[in-house]
């Protein structure tokens, strides 16, 4: 599937895109509807062959690239991970998906350990960015920590199909953006994938601003590149009015870690 992405990566570079985020485990089908151990062999180290290949494109186009792949730390220790590569090709670090679902069509605990790196924010050439992968978006706690850690843009690469998720897709992430005063880029794959046929990946990728307003969106059914410009000054403008970080009361939230 990497070859399918190369024309879009090159298109992004040629159009001057500064930060590019690919979809969840972008280089394979979404194999989690089944429990086939053969997919373990598709995991690789980070840094590794795929991140090195993407680093070459990052350097060529002066473009930050977020690279979500299946990571192998060692035999039997596998993660759903996104590597972050700066615009000069430098590997900055990675985020490992913290919240791992395990339900019909999404047997992810069979394939992935929960993340153990917290909620890092990466200072890239163009912005401070964080990553929150797919199912993570249903949990506001990590989204808040990314804001407290200084994220200006949070990217959520996903692989999600129609159903309740499609309604929540444009509800939860605008809420995260508004509650934390940052931009979000929300990325989903499209189409159906055999042999699993769990339903249609409904695309609908979009960007949302710190006011919670969606300002650019893609189709439900086409492989495409969605490009938008961000005015990062809006973050200060919004936070100077909505003082959510000032007014939060962490000393009253102890129950969150007790239950």
Q: What is the pLDDT of residue 1?
A: 86
Q: What confidence category does residue 50 fall into, taking pLDDT thresholds of 50, 70 and 90?
A: very high
Rg of the chain over CA atoms, in angstroms?
18
Average pLDDT of the chain, as a whole number? 98
Q: Are strands 128-131 and 153-157 parallel, antiparallel or unpaired?
A: parallel
* CB 33 within 8 Å of CB 192: no
Cα 193 from Cα 190, distance rounded (Å): 9
Q: Is 15 a catalytic residue?
A: no
- Helix residue spans in the chain (DSSP H): 2-14, 49-61, 140-148, 164-180, 233-241, 244-247, 255-258
**Exactly one of 97, 108, 128, 186 is catalytic; which is it?**
97
- Which CATH number applies to 2-248? 3.60.110.10
Token pair 């919240």 in the structure block, residue: 99
CA distance 196 to 244: 43
Separation between Cα atoms, residue 88 and residue 124, nearest integer Å: 10
Say how many CA atoms lie within 13 Å of 253 toward its Cβ: 6
Phi-psi region of 93 (alpha: psi -120 to 50; beta: other; left: phi over 0): left
> Is 97 one of the catalytic residues?
yes
Using one digit for the tens of pLDDT, what is the confidence trace for 201-259?
Answer: 999 999 999 999 999 999 999 999 999 999 999 999 999 999 999 999 999 999 999 98
Count CB-CB contacts under 10 A for residue 255.
7
Q: Which of 21, 32, 72, 134 is catalytic?
A: 134
Tell me the average pLDDT across 3-8.
96
12 Rama class: left (phi>0) / alpha (psi -120 to 50) / beta: alpha
Q: Which of 21, 24, 108, 193 is catalytic?
A: 24
Q: What pLDDT, on the 0 to 100 scale, is given for residue 23?
A: 98
- The predicted-structure confidence for 160-211, as pLDDT tens digits, reads as follows 999 889 999 999 999 999 999 999 999 999 999 999 989 999 999 999 999 9
Confirm whether 71 is a catalytic residue: no
Reference 182, options 105, 234, 107, 134; nearest CA is 234
């Amino acid at each position: 599937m990497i070859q399918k992405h190369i024309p879009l990566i090159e298109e992004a570079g040629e159009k001057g895109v500064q930060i590019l985020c690919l979809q969840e485990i972008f280089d394979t089908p979404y194999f989690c509807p089944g429990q086939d151990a053969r997919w373990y062999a598709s995991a690789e180290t980070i840094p590794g062959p795929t991140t090195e290949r993407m680093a070459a494109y990052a350097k060529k186009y002066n473009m930050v690239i977020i690279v979500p792949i299946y990571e192998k730390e060692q035999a039997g220790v596998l993660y759903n991970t996104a590597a972050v590569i700066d615009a000069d090709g430098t590997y900055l670090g990675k985020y490992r998906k913290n919240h791992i679902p395990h339900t019909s069509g999404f047997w992810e605990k069979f394939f992935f350990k929960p993340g153990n790196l917290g909620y890092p924010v990466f200072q890239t050439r163009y912005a401070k960015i964080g990553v929150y992968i797919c199912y993570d978006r249903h949990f506001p706690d990590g989204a808040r920590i990314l804001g407290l850690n200084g994220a200006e843009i949070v990217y959520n690469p996903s692989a999600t199909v129609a159903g309740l998720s499609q309604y929540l897709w444009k509800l939860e992430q605008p809420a995260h953006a508004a509650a934390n005063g940052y931009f979000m880029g929300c990325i989903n794959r499209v189409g159906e994938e055999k042999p699993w046929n769990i339903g249609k990946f409904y695309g609908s990728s979009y960007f949302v601003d710190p006011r919670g307003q969606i300002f650019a969106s893609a189709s439900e059914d086409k492989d495409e590149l969605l490009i938008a410009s961000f005015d990062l000054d809006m973050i200060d403008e919004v936070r100077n009015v909505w003082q959510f970080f000032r007014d939060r009361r962490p000393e009253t939230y102890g129950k969150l870690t007790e239950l």
